[in-house]
């Protein structure tokens, strides 16, 4: 039989009689994501205004005598209503539907019928299944790919038909009615009994369906295609919104756009470019950070290698293309000896760079300015360190010779 919700999808309340009420349990998902089992009652009514899930459409929510109905399921020709309060069999009750949820489901379901018919008509793409989700709906198409141009054409066509205000009619046909052969459908449930319910969009589509639908395409308001996603087994998922969901989506999108405008300090048309620049800057910072950490570890390793070298003593020299002042100072700190002259340079071997001279304070104070002069640079120093910039790193051998001569002279004096 067809329930009251199927005979009149726009009805919001009606009175009926309780047929039975038995203890039952309902498995639900709690706020923490874990499964919970609720104790309650399975209520059967003579007729119902609350749609039991089926045909890809979730069940309704509502009340029976102001008692919340937490789940509605179909069992043969009857609907089971789960409540946590018992109801007396034989009593008259007022059934009220959560209209916002119901009308949303009507818009999405009728929207799916329209999109399915138009997609088949325009591109011979068959619908294999669909899902009415909480925030968006998905139509699975029997094709490994659907182009952006095809999606745009589908969106334009369905919205033209909405503006044409085409009526949507529901009729019941017997199984042996010849018209059944002309009706689109994916088969009937194993426990189906009675006539077949057919939903027809005038001049567009006739389809077997048990769900609740609008009576005119104008009630869909608008349909927005959100694009496609790769489906399973060479299928493509077509994502869409219909009716009030489009308005809510636009509201959220506008709110996000305003927030991004304030954060990025630019108009909406420049948001993408601004985010790309931020991403590039972040990647560069991360790269430099990783590179810097690598150099710092290397500095410690080099310092230990120099101290353990058989050539340790006198003048110790090192040059690297990559590095900075901190890199050289870490080496000097790790070595920490005033017994030798440490001459470190980083940069282009034939161009500009940085230098550091470390050693006995008196020697560094004397030699530092002379090394800077040889390298045609400038610098400053204190407490056994002299460092600066050089413009002629190609003259490093001359600076090294200067330091060697100093050490040799000091050895002769001793």
Q: Is 356 exposed, middle or buried (0-12, 13-18, 19+ CB in 10 A)?
A: buried
Residue 69 in any domain: the answer is: yes
Using the 3D structure, point to which of 242, 274, 305 is the last residue of a domain.
242
Place of tokens 């009630």: 219
Beta-strand (E) ranges in 30-151? Answer: 35-45, 62-64, 67-69, 71-75, 78-83, 92-97, 127-132, 137-141
Residue 247 in any domain: the answer is: no
Residue of higher predicted confidence among 200 and 180: 200
Whether residue 107 sits in one domain with residue 67:
no
CA distance 241 to 104: 10
Using the 3D structure, point to which of 77, 97, 117 is the last residue of a domain.
97
Residue 283 in any domain: the answer is: no
Whether residue 333 sits in one domain with residue 205:
no
Residue 140 in any domain: the answer is: yes
Q: In 10 A of CB 351, how many CB atoms?
A: 11
Supply the CATH number for residue 352's domain. Answer: 3.10.310.40
Residue 14 in any domain: the answer is: yes
350-384 pLDDT tens trace: 899 999 999 999 999 999 999 999 999 999 998 89
Q: Are 61 and 69 in contact (CB under 8 A)?
A: yes
Residue of higher predicted confidence among 296 and 188: 296
Whether residue 232 sits in one domain with residue 156:
yes
Whether residue 173 sits in one domain with residue 88:
no
Nearest to 209 by CA among 329, 71, 405, 54: 54
383-387: long-range contacts (C-beta < 8 A, 24 or more apart)? 384/338, 384/358, 384/359, 384/360, 385/329, 385/332, 385/356, 385/357, 385/358, 386/356, 386/357, 386/358, 387/325, 387/328, 387/329, 387/354, 387/355, 387/356, 387/357
Nearest to 49 by CA among 98, 105, 92: 98
30-63 pLDDT tens trace: 777 788 999 999 999 999 999 998 888 999 999 9
Per-residue model confidence (pLDDT) at position 190:
53
Buried b (16+ CB within 10 A) or exposed e, 120-156: eeeeebebeebebeeebbbbbbebeebeeebbebbbe
Residue 395 in any domain: the answer is: yes
> What total of structural domains would you count in the chain?
3
At 349, the pLDDT band (50, 70, 90 cuts) reads: confident
Q: Is 96 exposed, middle or buried (0-12, 13-18, 19+ CB in 10 A)?
A: middle
284-339 pLDDT tens trace: 766 565 456 677 778 888 888 888 888 788 899 999 888 888 889 988 988 887 78
Whether residue 90 sits in one domain with residue 76:
yes
Whether residue 78 sits in one domain with residue 115:
no
Residue 264 in any domain: the answer is: no
Per-residue model confidence (pLDDT) at position 290:
47
Nearest to 206 by CA among 180, 187, 188: 180
Whether residue 71 sits in one domain with residue 115:
no
Whether residue 319 sits in one domain with residue 220:
no
139-178 pLDDT tens trace: 999 999 999 999 999 999 999 999 999 999 998 887 766 6
For residue 179, pLDDT over 80 is answered with no
What range defines the domain where residue 399 resides? Answer: 291-412
DSSP 195-223: PEEEEEETTTEEEE--S---SBGGGG--E
Whether residue 149 sits in one domain with residue 88:
no
Using the 3D structure, point to which of 54, 72, 97 is the last residue of a domain.
97
Which residues are bridge partners to 354 per DSSP? Answer: 346, 389
For residue 186, pLDDT over 60 is answered with no
Whether residue 39 sits in one domain with residue 160:
no
Whether residue 236 sits in one domain with residue 163:
yes
270-293 pLDDT tens trace: 999 999 988 888 777 665 654 566
Whether residue 330 sits in one domain with residue 399:
yes
Widest distance between CA atoms in the chain = 122
Supply the CATH number for residue 153's domain. Answer: 3.30.980.10
Tokens of 312: 């340790």
The chain-wide mean pLDDT, for the chain, equals 90
Per-residue model confidence (pLDDT) at position 287:
59
Q: Read off the pTM.
A: 0.69
Residue 402 in any domain: the answer is: yes
How large is the average pLDDT for residues 121-125?
97
């Amino acid at each position: 039989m067809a329930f009251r919700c199927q005979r009149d999808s726009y009805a919001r309340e009606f009175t009926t009689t309780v047929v039975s009420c038995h203890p039952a349990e309902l498995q639900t998902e709690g706020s923490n994501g874990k499964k919970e089992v609720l104790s309650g009652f399975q209520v059967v009514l003579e007729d119902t205004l609350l749609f039991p899930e089926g045909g890809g459409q979730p069940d309704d929510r509502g009340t029976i005598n102001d008692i919340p109905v937490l789940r509605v399921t179909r069992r043969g020709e009857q609907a089971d209503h789960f409540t946590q309060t018992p109801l007396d069999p034989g009593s008259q009750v007022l059934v009220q539907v959560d209209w916002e949820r119901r009308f949303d489901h009507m818009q999405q379901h009728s929207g799916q019928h329209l999109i399915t018919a138009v997609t088949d008509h325009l591109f011979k793409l068959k619908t294999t299944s669909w899902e009415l989700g909480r925030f968006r709906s998905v139509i699975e198409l029997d094709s490994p790919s659907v182009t952006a141009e095809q999606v745009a054409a589908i969106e334009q066509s369905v919205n033209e038909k909405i503006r044409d205000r085409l009526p949507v009619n529901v009729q019941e046909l017997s199984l042996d009615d010849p018209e059944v052969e002309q009706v689109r459908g994916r088969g009937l449930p194993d426990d189906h009994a009675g006539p077949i319910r057919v939903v027809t969009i005038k001049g567009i589509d006739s389809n077997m369906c048990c769900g609740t639908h609008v009576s005119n395409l104008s009630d869909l308001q608008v349909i927005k295609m959100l694009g496609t996603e790769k489906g399973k087994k060479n299928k493509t998922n077509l994502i869409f919104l219909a009716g009030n969901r489009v308005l809510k989506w636009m509201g959220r999108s506008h709110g996000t756009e305003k927030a991004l405008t304030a954060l990025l300090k630019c108009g909406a048309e420049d948001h993408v470019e601004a985010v790309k620049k931020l991403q590039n800057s972040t990647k560069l910072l991360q790269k430099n950070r990783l590179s810097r950490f690598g150099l710092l570890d290397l500095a410690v390793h080099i310092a230990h290698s120099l101290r353990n070298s058989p050539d340790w003593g006198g003048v110790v020299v090192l040059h690297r293309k990559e590095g900075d002042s901190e890199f050289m100072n870490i080496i000097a700190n790790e070595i920490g000896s005033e017994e030798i002259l440490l001459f470190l340079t980083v940069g282009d071997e034939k161009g500009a760079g940085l230098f550091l001279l470390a050693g006995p304070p008196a020697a560094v104070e004397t030699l530092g300015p002379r090394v800077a002069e040889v390298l045609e640079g400038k610098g400053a120093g204190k407490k056994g360190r002299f460092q600066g910039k050089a413009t002629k790193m190609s003259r490093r051998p001359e600076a090294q010779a200067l330091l060697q001569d100093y050490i040799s002279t000091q050895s002769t004096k001793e």
